[in-house]
Amino acid sequence: MPPAQPHRPSAPPRPKIIPSLRRLMPFLRPVLPRFIGGVITALVAAVVALLIPVALRWLVDGPLTSGDQALIWIGGVAILLLGLTEAVFVFLRRLFVTLPSTAVEATMRQTLYAKLQRLPIAFHDRWQSGQLLSRAVGDLGMMRRFFAFGAVIFITNLLTLIIGLGILLVWSPLLGALFILTSIPIVVIAFRFEQSYHQVARRAQDQQGDLATAVEQSVHGIRVLKAFGRGQTALAGFEQQAEALRSTELTKARSEAMLWMWLTIIPFVSYAVCLVVGIWQVAEGQLSVGELVGFLSTAVVLNWPIESLGFLFAFAIDAANASVRLFEVLDAEEDIVDPAEPTTIVAPKGRLVLEDVHFRYQDAPEDERDLVDGATLAIEPGETMALVGVTGSGKTTLTALPGRLYDVTAGRVTLDGVDVRDLTLEELRTHVAMAFEDATLFSASVRDNVLMGAREKSDAVLDRALEVAQATFVRDLPEGLETTIGEEGMSLSGGQRQRLALARAVAADPAVLVLDDPLSALDVETEALVEDALRHVLASTTALIVAHRPSTVQLADRVALMRDGRIDDVGTHSELLARNEHYVHVIASLEEAQRDRQDLEQVATGAFQAIDASVMDARTGGEEER
């Protein structure tokens, strides 16, 4: 089944920084007192820093002019103490904000993960995994750093600037006004920076997501890449993407460097203008030396708040973008949800009925007919129904509807007469269990993987499920049932993974078992054994099985033939063979595919035997020679 081409959402319009960050308020609220504590301590540190010039001014105009040694010492110690106090408050600020910012990040991450679990498969069909990964890791980390450091410093530095400029104006209205006037270009430059930086910053974040997708896909598909010798091509593609990201990051850095440069130059120009005018005022007797020293040292203290505004501004834009990217996921519609007033089925019998069911994928062209176009089918309790049809006829899609992986677009699916949309998802999925051709296993023990959906997590359930799925090979793994099977069960063969996925569906002991070609990777012998064991389980379970092999069809009590989005005919295998030409054609093509597969298996077995024999020959020959 070819998956829909994943894409990332197109870049939204430029977000406004404050509203974007304000959306994070629900996450911040629990830690707001500590955050405010952080701002207050940072502000105290800044005010203490501003007091140092006040002490200097007093020292120059007072004790230094009068030559009072004792007072000079007191002044020196006071300045030292002020410096120490500033350091203590900077430390306290870190203490206040580090803990809550990590807590905020953890809560946001949990919320995002929970949302991803709730979002329908249709959402995951559309979104690249790397885009989700980069949001869960990169963007959330960015927001944590902004709240732990950027936001506090931003607020503090702004307040420090306001207080400092106030002091400058009070001490010398002329010099203060000159300082402010010569700093005005900063506002214009910052405004222009904000306009250009947003787009490039967002592009970098999206490109990071693309890169994560590329890594994820190549790691996931490493076998295919190696088998087809496509490693170099993949690398070339990856290098191109990495280069694109590097170029965007460089544009970002250039933009930041330009802002930083102006934020460094402009205060120095202001400083120089004030110095010249100040010296002239001292010469004219309009200002004391102490007042000029105090003024200039305050201006120096303000240097950092002004300079830092550049990267803090960039930081705020990055965090606002990260917030927008986070809410693109958090705001995504959850259209497969629990009903407002759920019904419950106490003892399900397992009668599964599709009533004039229609379904189309969201991205299907409008002029195309529905993929499932009025399918009607009734499966009686305990009955096994095979679903056959030509490739691409929509069999896999149809099997996703009873468990609500997708919702029907018209018609309904009922279980014991109850519309599946009237049950909670949790209840529905205890009644309907699924196993797919593409068997996904999780990085967990065999036991946890198999008992994942089981109501009763006992050894007896586990043993029976493994028995039915012919998966007792797991007992021979290094740590038996406790062996952790690698990411997606990669350390197991395709057939072994399928058997474990089947065991998982059997262990769930559902009323309805939906199997989408779950035996495709098994050799003929094992398949026959699994089918034999399945027959016993299926005797009491309603089953809908997508069949790609004639032998799977034989398992079924009846067969439903899918054609043009509808159930074309239903009957026993022999009934359909006798009356339905299309069925004869489908079965003939399944048999042909089966023969091809068996031929391939025989060739492979022959080849392996020949290799074994030559290895043996080489060994015995070697021993004889010795």
Ligand X SMILES: Nc1ncnc2c1ncn2[C@@H]1O[C@H](COP(=O)(O)OP(=O)(O)OP(=O)(O)O)[C@@H](O)[C@H]1O
| Binding positions for ligand X, rule: CB under 6 A | 1-4, 125, 361, 363, 371, 389, 391-397
Shortest distance (Å) from residue 233 CB to ligand X: 25
Shortest distance (Å) from residue 565 CB to ligand X: 9
Whether 170 contacts 294, CB under 8 Å: no
| Nearer Cβ to ligand X (109/126) | 126
Whether 107 contacts 65, CB under 8 Å: no
Shortest distance (Å) from residue 544 CB to ligand X: 13
Shortest distance (Å) from residue 575 CB to ligand X: 22
Residue bearing tokens 């590329």: 214
Whether 256 contacts 263, CB under 8 Å: no
| Nearer Cβ to ligand X (393/445) | 393
Phi, psi of 572 (to 5 degrees): -75, 165
| Nearer Cβ to ligand X (115/126) | 126
Shortest distance (Å) from residue 396 CB to ligand X: 3
CA 304/CA 309 separation, integer angstroms: 8
| Nearer Cβ to ligand X (2/67) | 2
SS3 state at 442:
coil
Residue 277 identity (one-letter amino acid): V
| Nearer Cβ to ligand X (16/369) | 369
Query: Measuring CA to CA, which residue among 538, 548, 539 is closest to residue 437?
Result: 548
CA 416 distance to own-chain centroid: 37
What torsion, rounded to 10 degrees, do the Cα atoms 216, 217, 219, 221 define? 160
| Nearer Cβ to ligand X (210/370) | 370
Query: Measuring CA to CA, which residue among 113, 105, 267 is closest to residue 189?
Result: 267
| Nearer Cβ to ligand X (34/126) | 126
Shortest distance (Å) from residue 528 CB to ligand X: 22
Whether 371 contacts 397, CB under 8 Å: yes
Shortest distance (Å) from residue 394 CB to ligand X: 4
CA 343/CA 329 separation, integer angstroms: 30
| Nearer Cβ to ligand X (309/357) | 357
CA 250 distance to own-chain centroid: 26
| Nearer Cβ to ligand X (148/401) | 401
Shortest distance (Å) from residue 356 CB to ligand X: 18
Name 381's Cβ contacts closer than 8 Å, sequence gap at least 6: 349, 350, 351, 511, 542
CA 541/CA 538 separation, integer angstroms: 5
Shortest distance (Å) from residue 444 CB to ligand X: 26
CA 531/CA 528 separation, integer angstroms: 5
| Nearer Cβ to ligand X (397/498) | 397
Whether 359 contacts 371, CB under 8 Å: yes
Name 323's Cβ contacts closer than 8 Å, sequence gap at least 6: 15, 20, 21, 23, 24, 139, 143
Whether 339 contacts 383, CB under 8 Å: no
Residue 304 identity (one-letter amino acid): W
In angstroms and rounded to an integer, the radius of gyration of the C-alpha atoms of the chain is 36
Shortest distance (Å) from residue 591 CB to ligand X: 15
Shortest distance (Å) from residue 517 CB to ligand X: 7
| Nearer Cβ to ligand X (31/371) | 371
Shortest distance (Å) from residue 533 CB to ligand X: 24
CA 47/CA 96 separation, integer angstroms: 18
| Nearer Cβ to ligand X (178/371) | 371
Name 217's Cβ contacts closer than 8 Å, sequence gap at least 6: none
